Structure 1
């Protein structure tokens, strides 16, 4: 079974964090969930995004998710794959140079990387999407295109792969897009 690194943070989308973590663990993979500036046993706050007829989603407080590894100790060479959930956490995690360096290290080593929805923000900030075909939450389309990736609209629960990069669209798109 694989050892997977999950980079997550406060106000990550609840389902994009909890379900893959639990599913990968249930399948026998070892998943290290880390967050910069937080220790093993500390929690991050999750959020639930909902489409209620407005032009964009609303955000509700989700669960507390307990971290099981220390961010300061992680190295890409110790993992077979990287998983990046979406929600609001990628917008500030991309400001952390070690997070960006880790993302680049996974791509340099040609290891599988998966991201969901706003998780693409870590990939665009790391400069690793040029020439790749990608999907994400529709509001991330300009970032993908500025990073020279090819954005593809997808329906809910669809995925796209480009080499060892897997992108999943699990959040419903707003009817205004």
Structure 2
């Protein structure tokens, strides 16, 4: 036994175990699915909390603002995967807006279409990754706004409509 190991009373020689392998195996079998299913478990926990207390858990849902150059691009982005893959409960495509912004050191002035995407906060990154992969802009604008309060029936509807990972 080395002098470092001699000072650690819990240390065992290689090959010996203080905890039976079967116990470690069972712990791993229980822990792995819990970690993998975390978003789904969180969603169930939030729904149980809301059911038992009658209150909403702030931040469980979000609204994403996504700008597009035209209505067809917005519909393509919205329907192609966001809605078909149930990453959002709904998408509102707002009429043409006038937009002013800085881009590459200059003030730009254009018209755009704004999308409001209602989803679970746990799925935001998935939506952002998809939008970046198909959006015609070099740097698509995707902003997330956390929902602090909302109609319980509307929030339940979002939970049912959006699939968990």
Asked whether the two chains share a fold, i.e. TM above 0.5, the reply is no
Q: Higher helix share goes to which structure?
A: 2
Name which one, 1 or 2, has greater alpha-carbon Rg.
Answer: 2
Please, what TM-score do these two structures have when normalized by structure 2?
Answer: 0.25
Which of structures 1 and 2 has the larger relative contact order (alpha carbons within 8 angstroms, sep 6+)?
A: 2
